[in-house]
Chain A
Amino acid sequence: MALNQIASSSSRSNLLKPLITLFRPFSSSPADNTILTVETSVPFTGHNCDPPSRTVETTPTELLGFFKDMALMRRMEIAADSLYKSKLIRGFCHLYDGQEAVAVGMEAAITKKDCIITAYRDHCIYLGRGGTLVEAFSELMGRKGGCSKGKGGSMHFYKKDGGFYGGHGIVGAQVPLGCGLAFAQKYSKDGTVTFALYGDGAANQGQLFEALNMAALWDLPAILVCENNHYGMGTAEWRAAKSPAYYKRGDYVDGMDAFAVKQACKFAKEHALKNGPIVSTFIQLLFYYRLVSQSNAALERLHWNKQIRYRRQRILCSIGNMTAALSTPCSIIKFFGSFPFIILEMDTYRYHGHSMSDPGSTYRTRDEISGVRQERDPVERIRKLVLSHELATEKELKEIEKEIRKQVDEAIAQAKESPMPDPSELFTNVYVKGFGVEHVGDYGEFSIEIRLSGEKEGSEMPPLSTAEGWCGGRLGLEAYLLGFEGMDFSQILSYTEGNESFNQEAETSRPKLCFGISGLNMKPYTKIKVGYAYNRGPVPHFDPMRPLA
């Protein structure tokens, strides 16, 4: 993501000025079009194909952008933590700090037209897809200014124009949905891909394999990404799967290295689009050997529960297809042309517990958490890269972080000012079209005039005529027409009603209720009393047999 990402996410222009002045010196030394080469932490190895190279090309802008975005995400999650503890956020709050590299690296590799769908740990992915801090915090606090107008909550962030389809609370459900998005992309021939993110806990879900089977069968441009933070809620990976090799969690990517993620996603996207999905696998062996050799002593000190040794023995190569897992010869797969599609596994880690109600230390040690934070923290890695490439000094980076902190605080203040949703919003958006809610309430009456177009007052009308009317102003979007008085009921043969807004964008727009009636012997310019109902509670329904009281 580029510099302007931060700029656009800030809602106040006066925030930008100090930020921009900070960045001006950067443009002079290394120029923006300088290509920097960065090596990923470990080399990739492909399975059934040539893996991408270990060296990733990047620009200073991108590198700094990574730093800023990840620092922003980190700060946002920590702020959400303290908001939850001060009871401004209720219910669920699943935090993503530690895993920012996945969100940021993926964004760098794809466009806004590609779709991402994820589970409930979606705050940072939402930011990456173009969401603003204010919207995120408002939604978390249940305010009207939130991305789902306060009706979704922490687990249901959506940004359809940014290609982000949520935000799903049911573990594993997002994987078939993601394959469905890929199906639609293939159907519409858009040339885009879908990344369906899920966790190691969801990797055991049956519907995942059902979706996987169909995606491979139909060559869907779907890329399944397992964000393996090694704990499905509180159950470690090795306790949840009899054979992690059988379940083939995915092709291994170091999820704490933003550039590895970026390279992997770019590779995955290209291959998914090029000539049908082709399996590719990244094997990451060296990292673990290095970890083990360097910190063998540390390994021994780790909690018995952690059993890192299994990683050493793990094959770390996964083939994205159940049939392949059952050792179908690869030549047969190639011959029939039905290549398995891609599963990527991001080896990542979350510092917080599963959610805010989980301290995160009953199933893992604090040493382990701090160990990962020291060795593999993604923000630290990028900071070291920035410093080593001399794109900014230590002091400047600290300034950036301070600025981000201030930005987050301002966003929280602004979100706190946002009002709670209007009570009428309880009943809106149940359906796109019509009906709203069955039981409506708080009804009233007012008089309107029926005008039959083109006719003068008092003129003769044909026996069967149709008229349209509308009433607006006071009515909410989900008002219903109850009945007419002042017109003989036998005259009205049919009526239809509809709700429309004049102009949905304008602040001053007033929704109107439109209706049409057709009846016998209607007169133009008839004044009738109209009953309407608004969504606040129970009310009698329209009774054609009984005039309004």
Chain B
Amino acid sequence: MNLAWTHRRQWRKAVQIRGRRQWYQQWEVRKGVPRQMEEPGQVPTAEKLSGTFDCHFPFASESQSTSSVFELTKILGQSSRSLRPSVCASRFYSSIAKEMTVRDALNSALDEEMSADPKVFLMGEEVGEYQGAYKISKGLLEKYGPERVVDTPITEAGFTGIGVGAAYYGLRPVVEFMTFNFSMQAIDHIINSAAKSNYMSAGQISVPIVFRGPNGAAAGVGAQHSQCYAAWYASCPGLKVLAPYSSEDARGLLKAAIRDPDPVVFLENELLYGESFPVSAEALDSSFCLPIGKAKIERQGKDLTITAFSKMVGYALKVRPPFFLKAVSDAAEILAKEGISAEVINLRSIRPLDRPTINASVRKTNRLVTVEEGFPQHGIGAEICTSVIEESFGYLDAPVERIAGADVPMPYAANLERMAVPQVEDIVRAAKRVCYKSVPMAATA
């Protein structure tokens, strides 16, 4: 009984430390995730976090450091999951680790780039007085004024054309689409006026523009607001297409995109906006940039390679649970428990695709699973699959598995929606199939 009382007191204390604001943050995130209570008897993480936890691992660089942390935590005798440098542990205790939500990362990147270069300006619907439809551009209007943070009417074709025209003249616009579904209204300007101009003019007219906005499925928004446009834009030469996952990705890639003299399509994800990720001190520097065209190996492995981008990296790597909820383990972790060591690649850049990294990884592991949220036909996974077959066919030990969203418009009903978007179980099953370890299931493929 005493033990239970201590348990409860510590748990309450932890909640108090966390505070109301963080609770709301987590509530936003947890809305779409089935709630699972922590098992009774499990030691709450307040104990685990009493030790020092240095979160300044160089997440932006090679992940050899990650594996060393794994070893370190094993040495300390803690379970690797609880003390690994992951979101769940460090998120609520910011006194120890520096964390940033993706929203703050994008906001700070925009802020810094706008202050560094007076030619950068932001244009889009509700970016100014509304503080951004998703609060990405919060505070920018007050800081830079209405000349540089321009609220537009709801006319995508018009304001995208105006943005591209301003880029022709030499300014550096950042055009925000409320979601990329609305970019279809303006896709003529993105492709014909922006992407092709440098080629058609043989280098005279360059278009240093960034088109950004949330892409892919949000929660319960229906068919017309849930499509993933990565494959559409990535097939067009002349564009660069980026898809960040973590805060550091968001910061580094957005800065690189704004500085890039080519048109960049920057695909964010609405569900990732509220998520916090630890950031290194290097990433907080105002000149921090990530290279375009280089993928990141989030987790080293030797049995198979999982490639993903944007939200699917989280599914492949981890699903972010608050500390007191039982973690819905990530695919890689589930597989690790079964003895399959998966290498997770965060693509970061869809065009140009980092084929060398993917191929090198496949040559190492000999198996590949591609994960994406969009429609399967002519998708990113199809391109990666073909690239691997062209380059590293002899190294493949099993056919490549593609996981994509269902080949249907996104339904509204919650259960159907869950079926239409890849889940962790799908990734795990595909990984097992690829490793020839799957157990055939009766009703599902």
Q: Which residues of A are in contact with B by a Cβ distance under 8 Å? A: 115, 117, 148-152, 156, 158-160, 165-170, 173, 175-185, 187-188, 206-207, 209-211, 213-214, 217-218, 428-435, 437-438, 538, 540-546
The docked-state distance in angstroms from the alpha carbon of A165 to that of B166 is 11
CB-defined contacts of B391 to chain A, threshold 8 Å:
540-541
Which residues of B from 188 to 236 have beta carbons under 8 Å from A?
188-189, 192-193, 197-206, 208
For the complex of A and B, 8 pairs with smallest distance between CB atoms: A180-B165, A176-B161, A210-B158, A184-B169, A210-B155, A149-B202, A177-B165, A180-B162
Would you give 13 A-B contacts (Cβ < 8 Å), ordered by A? A149-B202, A158-B200, A165-B165, A176-B157, A181-B169, A183-B162, A209-B158, A210-B153, A214-B162, A218-B150, A431-B238, A433-B260, A434-B292
CB-defined contacts of A214 to chain B, threshold 8 Å:
152-153, 155, 158-159, 162
Q: Are B262 and A431 in contact (CB under 8 A)?
A: yes
Q: Are A207 and B158 in contact (CB under 8 A)?
A: yes
The docked-state distance in angstroms from the alpha carbon of A12 to that of B28 is 72
Q: Are A542 and B203 in contact (CB under 8 A)?
A: no
Q: Are A545 and B363 in contact (CB under 8 A)?
A: yes
CB-defined contacts of B188 to chain A, threshold 8 Å:
170, 173
Interface string of B32-48 (1 = CB under 8 A from A): 00000000000000000
Given A176-B161, A177-B164, verify A158-B201 contact (CB < 8 Å).
Answer: yes
Query: Closest B-chain residue to A436, C-beta based?
Result: B352
Interface string of B80-114 (1 = CB under 8 A from A): 00000000000000000000000000000000000
Q: Are A181 and B360 in contact (CB under 8 A)?
A: no
Query: Closest B-chain residue to A169, C-beta based?
Result: B192
Which of the residues B168, B200, B353, B355 comes within 8 Å of A180, measured between beta carbons?
B168
Chain B nearest CB, measured from A311 CB (Å) = 31
Q: Are A544 and B169 in contact (CB under 8 A)?
A: no
The docked-state distance in angstroms from the alpha carbon of A165 to that of B161 is 13
CB-defined contacts of B238 to chain A, threshold 8 Å:
430-431
B359 interface residue (CB < 8 Å to A): yes
Which of the residues A150, A429, A544 comes within 8 Å of B198, measured between beta carbons?
A429
Interface string of B352-394 (1 = CB under 8 A from A): 1101100110011000000000000000000000000011000
Q: Are B192 and A541 in contact (CB under 8 A)?
A: no
Given A180-B168, A181-B165, verify A429-B260 contact (CB < 8 Å).
Answer: no
Q: Are A541 and B158 in contact (CB under 8 A)?
A: no
Q: Are A176 and B189 in contact (CB under 8 A)?
A: yes
The docked-state distance in angstroms from the alpha carbon of A159 to that of B192 is 18
SS of A interface (majority): loop
Which of the residues B147, B167, B202, B262 comes within 8 Å of A151, measured between beta carbons?
B202
Chain A nearest CB, measured from B65 CB (Å) = 14
Which of the residues B153, B169, B363 comes within 8 Å of A213, measured between beta carbons?
B153
CB-defined contacts of B160 to chain A, threshold 8 Å:
176
The docked-state distance in angstroms from the alpha carbon of A334 to that of B410 is 49
Which of the residues A117, A169, A187 comes within 8 Å of B121, measured between beta carbons?
A187
Given A166-B205, A210-B155, A210-B159, verify A432-B262 contact (CB < 8 Å).
Answer: yes
CB-defined contacts of A167 to chain B, threshold 8 Å:
200-201
Query: Closest B-chain residue to A431, C-beta based?
Result: B262
CB-defined contacts of B356 to chain A, threshold 8 Å:
541-544
The docked-state distance in angstroms from the alpha carbon of A210 to that of B155 is 6
Query: Closest B-chain residue to A190, C-beta based?
Result: B169
Q: Are A173 and B360 in contact (CB under 8 A)?
A: no
CB-defined contacts of B240 to chain A, threshold 8 Å:
431, 435
The docked-state distance in angstroms from the alpha carbon of A298 to that of B253 is 67
Chain A nearest CB, measured from B63 CB (Å) = 14
Q: Which residues of B are in contact with A by a Cβ distance under 8 Å? A: 121, 147, 150, 152-153, 155, 157-171, 188-189, 192-193, 197-206, 208, 237-238, 240, 260-262, 292-293, 352-353, 355-356, 359-360, 363-364, 390-391
The docked-state distance in angstroms from the alpha carbon of A544 to that of B361 is 10
Query: Closest B-chain residue to A176, C-beta based?
Result: B161
Q: Are B164 and A180 in contact (CB under 8 A)?
A: yes
Given A187-B121, A431-B238, verify A173-B203 contact (CB < 8 Å).
Answer: no
Q: Are B293 and A543 in contact (CB under 8 A)?
A: no
Query: Which has the most chain A C-beta neighbours within 10 Å: B162, B202, B353, B355?
Result: B162
Q: Are B237 and A437 in contact (CB under 8 A)?
A: yes
Q: Are B166 and A429 in contact (CB under 8 A)?
A: no
Query: Closest A-chain residue to B169, C-beta based?
Result: A184
The docked-state distance in angstroms from the alpha carbon of A168 to that of B203 is 16
Chain A nearest CB, measured from B438 CB (Å) = 29
Given contacts A179-B162, A435-B240, 7 further A-B contacts (CB under 8 A): A152-B200, A165-B168, A168-B192, A177-B168, A184-B165, A431-B262, A434-B293
The docked-state distance in angstroms from the alpha carbon of A207 to that of B355 is 38
Given A170-B192, A207-B158, verify A158-B165 contact (CB < 8 Å).
Answer: no
CB-defined contacts of B155 to chain A, threshold 8 Å:
207, 210, 213-214
CB-defined contacts of A540 to chain B, threshold 8 Å:
391
The docked-state distance in angstroms from the alpha carbon of A166 to that of B161 is 14
Chain A nearest CB, measured from B377 CB (Å) = 21
Query: Closest B-chain residue to A425, C-beta based?
Result: B202
The docked-state distance in angstroms from the alpha carbon of A160 to that of B188 is 22
Given A184-B171, A210-B155, A433-B260, verify A148-B164 contact (CB < 8 Å).
Answer: no
Which of the residues A182, A187, A213, A545 comes within 8 Å of B158, measured between beta carbons?
A213
CB-defined contacts of B293 to chain A, threshold 8 Å:
434-435
The docked-state distance in angstroms from the alpha carbon of A151 to that of B203 is 10
Query: Which has the most chain A C-beta neighbours within 10 Å: B164, B200, B206?
Result: B200
CB-defined contacts of A168 to chain B, threshold 8 Å:
192-193
Q: Are B161 and A185 in contact (CB under 8 A)?
A: no
Q: Are A173 and B359 in contact (CB under 8 A)?
A: no
Q: Are A179 and B237 in contact (CB under 8 A)?
A: no
CB-defined contacts of B260 to chain A, threshold 8 Å:
433
CB-defined contacts of A435 to chain B, threshold 8 Å:
240, 293, 352
CB-defined contacts of B162 to chain A, threshold 8 Å:
176-177, 179-180, 183, 211, 214
CB-defined contacts of B169 to chain A, threshold 8 Å:
115, 165, 180-181, 184-185, 188
Q: Are A173 and B192 in contact (CB under 8 A)?
A: yes
Q: Are A165 and B153 in contact (CB under 8 A)?
A: no
Q: Are A148 and B165 in contact (CB under 8 A)?
A: no
Which of the residues B165, B201, B237, B359 comes within 8 Å of A178, measured between beta carbons?
B165
Q: Are B153 and A152 in contact (CB under 8 A)?
A: no
Which of the residues B150, B166, B168, B360 comes within 8 Å of A543, measured between beta carbons?
B360
CB-defined contacts of B152 to chain A, threshold 8 Å:
214
The docked-state distance in angstroms from the alpha carbon of A437 to that of B353 is 11
Chain B nearest CB, measured from A515 CB (Å) = 14
The docked-state distance in angstroms from the alpha carbon of A325 to that of B239 is 39
Q: Are A179 and B199 in contact (CB under 8 A)?
A: no
Q: Are A429 and B192 in contact (CB under 8 A)?
A: no
Chain A nearest CB, measured from B131 CB (Å) = 21
Query: Closest A-chain residue to B364, C-beta based?
Result: A545
CB-defined contacts of B167 to chain A, threshold 8 Å:
180
Q: Are A158 and B262 in contact (CB under 8 A)?
A: no
CB-defined contacts of A169 to chain B, threshold 8 Å:
192
Chain B nearest CB, measured from A396 CB (Å) = 38
The docked-state distance in angstroms from the alpha carbon of A168 to that of B164 is 13
Query: Closest B-chain residue to A482, C-beta based?
Result: B356
Query: Which has the most chain B C-beta neighbours within 10 Å: A169, A181, A185?
Result: A181
CB-defined contacts of B261 to chain A, threshold 8 Å:
432-433
Q: Are B161 and A429 in contact (CB under 8 A)?
A: no
Query: Which has the most chain B C-beta neighbours within 10 Å: A182, A187, A431, A541?
Result: A431
Query: Closest A-chain residue to B171, C-beta based?
Result: A184
The docked-state distance in angstroms from the alpha carbon of A218 to that of B150 is 10
Q: Are B193 and A177 in contact (CB under 8 A)?
A: yes
Q: Are B153 and A217 in contact (CB under 8 A)?
A: yes
Given A176-B157, A181-B168, verify A429-B199 contact (CB < 8 Å).
Answer: yes
Chain A nearest CB, measured from B59 CB (Å) = 17
Chain B nearest CB, measured from A482 CB (Å) = 10
Given A158-B205, A177-B193, A432-B203, verify A438-B353 contact (CB < 8 Å).
Answer: yes
Chain A nearest CB, measured from B145 CB (Å) = 12
CB-defined contacts of A433 to chain B, threshold 8 Å:
260-262
Q: Are A176 and B205 in contact (CB under 8 A)?
A: no
The docked-state distance in angstroms from the alpha carbon of A152 to that of B192 is 12
Query: Which has the most chain A C-beta neighbours within 10 Å: B121, B170, B193, B198?
Result: B193
